[in-house]
A and B are shown apart, each in its own frame.
Chain A
Amino acid sequence: GQNIDQPTEMTATEGAIVQINCTYQTSGFNGLFWYQQHAGEAPTFLSYNVLDGLEEKGRFSSFLSRSKGYSYLLLKELQMKDSASYLCAVMDSNYQLIWGAGTKLIIKP
């Protein structure tokens, strides 16, 4: 079967760095997405990786290793507004998105 694994919840301190991991097993691979979702709101796009390596976008970076079926989202200089759920999703060979359950990130002052 297909599955996406990511931690349920993480806690970090304002100003610090946090890494949210995602491992996946899917039938085929056409890219991995990270989305941010604040409580009661729809997800917003953060990043898309289809090749191995690190993609940096401001305070957020996303890394992919296709051979390991592994990705992480790195958040630097954490701000209180970064408190949200972070969803990892993989596009399989049929271009269907397989969603992880999300990681709830709690930022403490």
Chain B
Amino acid sequence: GAVVSQHPSWVICKSGTSVKIECRSLDFQATTMFWYRQFPKQSLMLMATSNEGSKATYEQGVEKDKFLINHASLTLSTLTVTSAHPEDSSFYICSARYGTETGELFFGEGSRLTVL
């Protein structure tokens, strides 16, 4: 199946710093990618939909200025957590849709962020 790669898998940073997470579709072009966060023992929470060449669409309650999303090419989307704080510690997962709007979602490996 299609492959989505996410990097880094683990990151530990100090409070106040910014962290960038990359999501790449390795063997297909993804016009749309999705960013989720997941707290322990909870389900996925959609943060934003990243569209190639245009601004991301954020879900209600997600701060646009804090979670910067850039979808510079058909194979790469990045999520930058700016001025991270301990409450931003979470599991961040990206996904890309393969093919049509009803196509299968492939997930990256996830990035576990710990803010000290």
Listed in ascending order, the chain A residues whose CB lies under 8 Å from chain B are 30-31, 33, 40-45, 48, 50, 87, 91, 95-97, 99-102, 104
Name the B residues within 8 Å of A43 (CB-CB): 44, 93, 107
Give the Cβ gap from B62 to chain A, nearest Cβ, in Å: 14
Determine the chain A residues whose CB is within 8 A of the CB of B43 once the complex forms: 87, 99-102
| Chain A binding surface, main DSSP class | loop
Whether the pair A45, B105 counts as a contact (CB closer than 8 A) is yes
Chain B interface residue count: which class? Answer: 20 to 34
Which chain A positions have C-beta within 8 A of B6?
42
| A101 CB to nearest chain B CB (Å) | 4
How many angstroms between the C-alpha atoms of A42 and B38 in the bound complex? 10
Q: How far is the CB of A57 from chain B (nearest CB, A)?
A: 13
Min C-beta distance of A7 to chain B, whole Å? 13
Taking A99-B44, A101-B42 as given, write out 9 further A-B residue pairs in contact, using a Cβ cutoff of 8 Å, ordered by the A residue number: A33-B105, A41-B109, A41-B110, A43-B93, A45-B106, A50-B102, A91-B102, A102-B43, A104-B41
Q: Is B61 an interface position by the 8 A CB rule?
A: no
Give the residue name and chain of the A residue nearest to B98 (CB). Answer: A45
List chain B residues, Cβ under 8 A from A102: 43
Q: How far is the CA of A57 from the CA of B45 in the complex (A)?
A: 28
A43 to B6, CA, bound (A): 13
Considering only CB atoms, which chain A residue lies closest to B59 in the complex? A96
Residues on the B chain within 8 Å of A95, using CB: 101-102
Q: How far is the CA of A44 from the CA of B6 in the complex (A)?
A: 14
Please give, as numbers and ranges, the residues of chain A lying within 8 Å of B13 by CB-CB distance.
none
Question: Smallest distance from the beta carbon of B1 to chain A beta carbons, Å?
Answer: 7
28 CB-based A-B contacts, threshold 8 Å: A30-B102, A31-B102, A33-B105, A40-B91, A40-B110, A41-B109, A41-B110, A42-B6, A42-B93, A42-B107, A43-B44, A43-B93, A45-B104, A45-B105, A45-B106, A48-B104, A50-B102, A87-B43, A87-B44, A91-B102, A95-B102, A96-B46, A97-B34, A97-B46, A99-B44, A99-B45, A102-B43, A104-B41
